[in-house]
Amino acid sequence: MGEIVLDASAVLAMVFVEPGGERVRSELLAQAHSIAMSAVNVCEVMTRLRRENYILTAEKAAALLPGVEIVQFDMNEAASAAVLHGSGSPLSLGDRACLALAQRLGATAWTTDKIWAGMAHGVAVEVLR
């Protein structure tokens, strides 16, 4: 089984029924792969949904992401995310948290953020749209 790390943008595409979102939904339902997500990216999803007037508790977030392992953002991920920043990098903290986790797990990062495709960060990336 391959490993997938979800970026907040991939989950939000699923929630808002945007391009790429159906692929995330299908993967979550099939549970054919091990799927993880950084707690930083879960926070991004919850923040965006609050901005859209959805109240997403931890329990509701878990129901939205069945079978997804939520991984703490620890000192190792923090150090890796800092290295990924580089000089002048357009990657946000959330982007780097996702990539750092994918790097540690040897997984593919799923995102809808097209800018990731052209970046040399040493992590397998699947741009969903």
pLDDT in tens, 69-116: 999 999 999 999 998 887 678 899 999 999 999 999 999 999 999 988
Side chain identity at residue 100, one-letter code: A
Q: Domains of the chain (ranges plus CATH)?
A: 3-127 (3.40.50.1010)
Q: Other C-beta atoms within 10 Å of 73: how many?
A: 18
| Per-residue model confidence as pLDDT tens digits over 13-66 | 999 999 999 999 999 999 899 999 999 999 999 999 988 888 778 888 888 899
Sole residue written with tokens 């780097």: 96
Residue 54 to residue 101: CA distance in whole angstroms: 27
